[in-house]
A and B are shown apart, each in its own frame.
Chain A
Amino acid sequence: MLADAKPDGRAGLRPLVSVRGLSKKFSNGTLALRDVDLDLFPGEFVSLLGPSGCGKSTLLKLISGLSEPSSGAVEWPGAEEHGAQKWEPVLRNTMRENKESEHGFDSIKTKRALGADAYGRPEHALGFVFQEPTLMPWATSLENVTLPLRLKSMAKSEAEARAAGMLALVGLKGFEKSYPRELSGGMKMRVSIARALVTEPKVLLMDEPFAALDEITRHKLNDDVLMLWQRNQFTAVFVTHSVFESVYLSERIVVMAARPGRVMSTLTVDAPFPRDDVFRTSAAYARLCQLGSEALKEAINA
Chain B
Amino acid sequence: MSALGTRGTDQEAAPVFTREARVFGLSPERWAGILAPLAVGVVILGGWEALVRLRNIPDYLFPGPVVIIRTLVTDWGTLSGALLITLRITFAALIAAVSLGVVLAILFTQSKWLERSLFPYAVILQVTPVVAIAPLIIILVGDVNLSLLICAWLVAFFPILSNTILGLNSADHNLIALFQLYGASRWQTLRFLKLPAALPYFLGGLKISGGLALIGAVVAEFVAGSGGSASGLAYRILESGYQLKIPRMFAALLMISMTGIAIFLATSWLSHRLLHRWHESALKREI
Q: Please list the residues of chain A having a beta carbon within 8 angstroms of any beta carbon in chain B.
A: 64-66, 90-91, 117, 119, 126, 128, 130, 132, 134, 136-139, 147-148, 150-152, 168-171, 173, 179-187, 190, 199, 213, 216-217, 220, 224, 227, 231
Q: Report the Cα distance A220→B10, complex, angstroms.
A: 9
Q: Are B15 and A182 in contact (CB under 8 A)?
A: yes
The interface stretch among B93-101, B123-131, B176-184 is B176-184
Q: Are B15 and A128 in contact (CB under 8 A)?
A: no
Q: Are B181 and A65 in contact (CB under 8 A)?
A: yes
For residue B196, CB closer than 8 A to chain A, the reply is yes
**Which A residues touch B184, using CB under 8 A?**
151
14 A-B pairs besides A65-B181, A126-B181, A147-B192 with CB distance below 8 A are A128-B181, A130-B174, A130-B177, A132-B174, A147-B182, A151-B182, A151-B183, A151-B188, A151-B192, A169-B1, A179-B277, A186-B9, A186-B10, A186-B13
Q: Are B196 and A136 in contact (CB under 8 A)?
A: yes
Q: Are A231 and B180 in contact (CB under 8 A)?
A: no
**Which B residues touch A169, using CB under 8 A?**
1, 3-4
Q: Report the Cα distance A64→B174, complex, angstroms.
A: 13
Instruction: Name the distance in Å between B168's Cβ and chain A's nearest Cβ.
Output: 14
Q: Are A181 and B181 in contact (CB under 8 A)?
A: no
Q: Are A170 and B4 in contact (CB under 8 A)?
A: yes
Instruction: Name the distance in Å between A161's Cβ and chain B's nearest Cβ.
Output: 15
Q: Taking A128-B181, A186-B10 as contacts, is the C-beta distance between A138 and B199 under 8 angstroms? A: yes
Among the listed A64, A137, A171, A186, which residue makes an inter-chain contact with B3, where contact means beta carbons less than 8 Å apart?
A: A171
Q: Are A150 and B10 in contact (CB under 8 A)?
A: no
What residue in chain B is nearest A134 (Cβ atoms)?
A: B174
**Which A residues touch B8, using CB under 8 A?**
216
**Which A residues touch B4, using CB under 8 A?**
169-171, 220, 224, 227
**Which A residues touch B254, using CB under 8 A?**
none
Q: Are B15 and A184 in contact (CB under 8 A)?
A: yes
Instruction: Name the distance in Å between B186's Cβ and chain A's nearest Cβ.
Output: 8
Q: Report the Cα distance A190→B10, complex, angstroms.
A: 10
Q: Report the Cα distance A169→B1, complex, angstroms.
A: 8
Mask, B183-203, CB within 8 Å of A = 1, is 110001000110011010000
Q: Are A117 and B183 in contact (CB under 8 A)?
A: yes
**Which A residues touch B6, using CB under 8 A?**
171
Q: Report the Cα distance A147→B174, complex, angstroms.
A: 14
For residue B22, CB closer than 8 A to chain A, the reply is no
Instruction: Name the distance in Å between A72's Cβ and chain B's nearest Cβ.
Output: 20
Q: What 6 pairs across the A-B complex have the smallest Cβ distances?
A: A186-B10, A171-B4, A184-B13, A134-B174, A184-B10, A151-B182
Q: Are A216 and B180 in contact (CB under 8 A)?
A: no
Among the listed A66, A134, A199, which residue makes an inter-chain contact with B172, where contact means beta carbons less than 8 Å apart?
A: A134
Q: Report the Cα distance A231→B4, complex, angstroms.
A: 13
Among the listed B183, B192, B196, B199, which residue makes an inter-chain contact with A150, where contact means beta carbons less than 8 Å apart?
A: B192
Q: Are B278 and A181 in contact (CB under 8 A)?
A: yes
Q: What are 12 residue pairs bridging A and B, where the CB atoms are less than 8 Å apart in the complex?
A: A117-B183, A130-B177, A137-B278, A138-B199, A138-B279, A152-B182, A169-B1, A171-B4, A179-B277, A179-B278, A184-B15, A186-B10
Q: Are A134 and B188 in contact (CB under 8 A)?
A: no
Among the listed B1, B11, B175, which residue makes an inter-chain contact with A136, where contact means beta carbons less than 8 Å apart?
A: B175
Q: Taking A170-B4, A227-B4 as contacts, is the C-beta distance between A185 and B10 under 8 angstroms? A: yes
For residue B14, CB closer than 8 A to chain A, the reply is yes
What residue in chain B is nearest A227 (Cβ atoms)?
A: B4
What residue in chain B is nearest A117 (Cβ atoms)?
A: B183
**Which B residues touch A199, using CB under 8 A?**
182
Q: Report the Cα distance A185→B12, complex, angstroms.
A: 11
Q: Report the Cα distance A183→B193, complex, angstroms.
A: 21
Q: Taking A90-B181, A224-B4 as contacts, is the C-beta distance between A184 and B188 under 8 angstroms? A: no
Q: Report the Cα distance A64→B79, complex, angstroms.
A: 66
Q: Are A220 and B9 in contact (CB under 8 A)?
A: yes
**Which A residues touch B172, using CB under 8 A?**
134
Q: Are A187 and B10 in contact (CB under 8 A)?
A: yes
For residue B142, CB closer than 8 A to chain A, the reply is no
**Which B residues touch A132, using CB under 8 A?**
174
For residue B283, CB closer than 8 A to chain A, the reply is yes
Q: Are B14 and A184 in contact (CB under 8 A)?
A: yes
Q: Report the Cα distance A199→B8, complex, angstroms.
A: 30
Q: Taking A132-B174, A138-B278, A187-B11 as contacts, is the C-beta distance between A64 and B181 under 8 angstroms? A: yes
For residue B5, CB closer than 8 A to chain A, the reply is yes
**Which B residues touch A138, using CB under 8 A?**
196-197, 199, 277-279
